[in-house]
Amino acid sequence: MVLAFLLTISLYLTIRAWLESGYLGKGSKNFMNEKQTICVLPELQLWHPDIKPFFMNPSPLECSSVEENWIYTTNGSYHISEAALQKHRDVLCEYTPLHRGKDDFEVKRGTSKKGSAVKVKLETDMFLARCVGSDGGTYSNVHSSIAYKEELHKKPHRKPQQMNVLMFGLDSTSRLTWIRNLPRTHDYVTSQLGAVVMEGYNIVGDGTPQALLPILTGHNEMELPEARKGFDNASFVDGHPWIWKELKDNGYVTQWGEDGAAFGTFTYRMLGFKEQPVDHYMRTFYLSAEDMYYRNKPYCMGSVPRHVNMLNWIREFYRMYPDQPKFSFLFHSELSHDVHSMSRLIDQDLKDLIWDLDQEGHLDNTLLILMADHGARFQSMRQTEQGKFEERLPYLSLRFPPKFLRSHPDVAANLQKNSKRLSTPYDLHATFQQLLNFNRSQTDPRAKSFMTEIPKSRTCAEAGVEPHWCSCLQWQRISSSDYIIHKTAAELVKAINSFSSKHRHMCAELRLHNITSAARFIATEDVLRFKKSLDEDGRLADLSDDMSVSDVLYQIAIGTEPNQATYEGIVTHHTHSNTFTVSYRQISRTNRYGDQPHCVQKKHPHLRPFCFCTKQM
């Protein structure tokens, strides 16, 4: 007890010294304005002068300028629109069901059926429609819907204590970028529906898989069975402990989908699923639809914007299963991944969907989650100081049903407290687990359900966040001309070259071109001792077990030749032995590599950020 008290006092004095000495730098603050809180985040402006030039209003989509789609879907059937019948008179359509093939990379076409019926029951969620009118007009398009599945309707109705889960995500969208680009949605869910935004929501890795795997499995990629293409003993991802498996065992109907089939979260670098993972799976649609994009106006499927088609799939899912417990997760990247402002085109449509679901009573028993995987990773904004922090702080808001919060006032209070504390994707997974069993004890020390209070004293190490991604860490700038920085940069380039060394006949050896920035973080003895005492209680992440005061962390941003690449990485200097350590997981490429790694793209996709093919196309 006395030791714990002394450690607390030691930690308090350390943080106060940081704050009073200016070590944290201008624009930083104690996150809770409480000296006991360990996590200190930068104070980021919504419209910082360095950020504002990257945002502008995009041109409206022109989908409605073409003829209205002849086909629409509802309640498990497709219909020929009244407008098409009036314009083209007798309409004959060929309906072809689209089935998932042997794995995530194959689509099979079912038996086509022709007819002039204005309403046809669907066999599958996805289908191809080709129609011709008596006036010679033609129509061809791929459609998505929710087909009626009798076995799912036989599932028991939702129990009073069961809560639906609806999660919608955007790629590459920081908390502040969401507020900038989707103000209507943000204001509606927070001001009208009472959603709580988690301002300390911090990424735990680089890219979408490192964001979604902890949410959906409770583990990071390193902890899961090998699933990367081209690696020994790699297997499909079916065996991962997906949360929807637990949900299905508890009677839930499940839905998962993401656009961008060519760059799927679990199919780009990984082998994907052998069997269909959820009851309603959207990959079959995008594998077929993306081949037809060139026929349409940008971001359109005929007269319907592609993002609206995705949102409609959620709407149809909820209407198909009004009584069954439901889990839905849709993730959109097309309008948010590459250009900062394009996601503004989603705002009104997303708000309309949420408004519709609320008006129809679906949100009365639904946990609504709006989220992003990370902030901008490659765009120019990422090169600004604020952009680096925004990459690490994606958007996350949670809206629990008011009736649930009234009966659980402790949860309502905890949500407000947790909104100002360090949180991670692991916590979202823990929240799902608690929904399934409210009294379930959490076995993963780094994960805290948002329904329970997250400790004010939580550190990144406790939360499973490595230094490279921890927004709480405060870095002291160092001149790039410093000798130790040149040595550290050389070690970083050496490490990058080591990744591709076995393929030197294809990948050029990179050289240091310049050092653009450097910073240092020195963990004090008091903080290290405090972490160690927590570790004795089993609450410290393994990544900090062997950290000592003799280790100095450097964050280096460099440019390399001949690939004209920019990298950012963490290098640990072990001062006692004067040696350096660089981890693969703590290196990020911060500009695009395009076709540079074409020679390893298929067989060794993990080398894409580091390989500059000696034979450029």
pLDDT value of position 112: 96
Give the DSSP H/E element, type plus range, for residue 583: strand 579-589
* CATH 3.10.450.10 intervals, the chain: 475-617
pLDDT tens-digit series, residues 189-232: 999 999 999 999 999 988 899 999 999 999 999 999 999 999 99
* Cα-based distances in Å from 278 to 86, 218, 249, 281, 392: 39, 18, 12, 6, 30
Q: Does the pLDDT at position 173 exceed 90?
A: yes
Beta-carbon count within 10 A of 136 CB: 7
* CATH 2.60.40 intervals, the chain: 63-144
Residue 407 pLDDT class (50, 70, 90 cuts): very high
pLDDT tens-digit series, residues 260-299: 999 999 999 999 999 999 999 999 999 999 999 999 999 9
CATH 3.30.70 for domain 63-144:
no
Residue 553 pLDDT class (50, 70, 90 cuts): confident
* CATH 3.40.720.10 intervals, the chain: 150-463
Contact 97, 52 (CB under 8 A): no
Contacts of 189 (CB under 8 A, 6+ apart): 195, 354, 368, 370, 397, 399
pLDDT tens-digit series, residues 2-13: 333 333 333 333
Contact 334, 259 (CB under 8 A): yes
Between CA 22 and CA 440 the distance in angstroms is 43
pLDDT value of position 11: 34
Give the DSSP H/E element, type plus range, for residue 85: helix 82-88
Q: Which CATH number is 475-617 given?
A: 3.10.450.10
Residue 161 pLDDT class (50, 70, 90 cuts): confident
Q: Does the pLDDT at position 360 exceed 90?
A: yes
pTM of the model: 0.81
Q: Which CATH number is 150-463 given?
A: 3.40.720.10
pLDDT value of position 14: 33
